[in-house]
Amino acid sequence: MVRSARDIPVWIFSAPGADATQHSALADAGCRLFHVATVNGRPWIPAVTEALVAEGITRLLVEGGPTVSRAFSSMGLVDDIVQYRAAGSQDAISARDGALRSVHELPGHMAFALAHERALGDDMLYVFHRMRGS
C-alpha cells in the first residue's frame, strides 16, 4: 500500500507520540498521517471518525475482524453489516443462524434486521441493516 500511496491515497491514523522516523518515511512515500487520541494503545474511534468528517468523508467501509467490528459497534457507528460465510459442514439454516447470532452479539445496543441473503457459489452473503430507532 505504501508503494502506491502517491497514486492511491493511503491515510494512517496513529497516536501523537508515534515513532517520528517511521512517520517521516511514510509521509515521504506519499501517505497522509493523522495523529489521534488513543485508548488502551489503540486509536480512539470517535477521534478517527471526526478526522475523517473534517476531510469531508461521511461514509466509511470498515473491513476487519471481531476487534474492529466491536470497536465501531460499541460506539454506535454501524449502519450496515455485510457478512460472507464460507461453505462448510453447516447447512443453510445453521449458517443463517450463525450470521444472525454474530450480529446480535455485537456491543452497542443496536438492532439489525436481515435485509438480504444470497448464495455465492458454495458460500453465503448476508446483508443486515440497522433498524430505525436503535
Domain shared by 50 and 88, yes or no: no
128: its cell numbers: 443486515
Tens-digit pLDDT profile for residues 81-117: 998 888 765 666 677 788 888 887 777 778 899 999 9
Domain span at residue 79 reads: 62-134
Domain shared by 68 and 56, yes or no: no
Is the pLDDT at 122 greater than 90? The verdict is no
**pTM of model > 0.75:** no
Domain shared by 3 and 68, yes or no: no
pLDDT band at 43, cuts 50/70/90?
confident
What's the pLDDT at 35?
92
Domain count, the chain: 2
**Which spans in 1-123 are helix H?**
20-28, 45-54, 66-74, 92-104
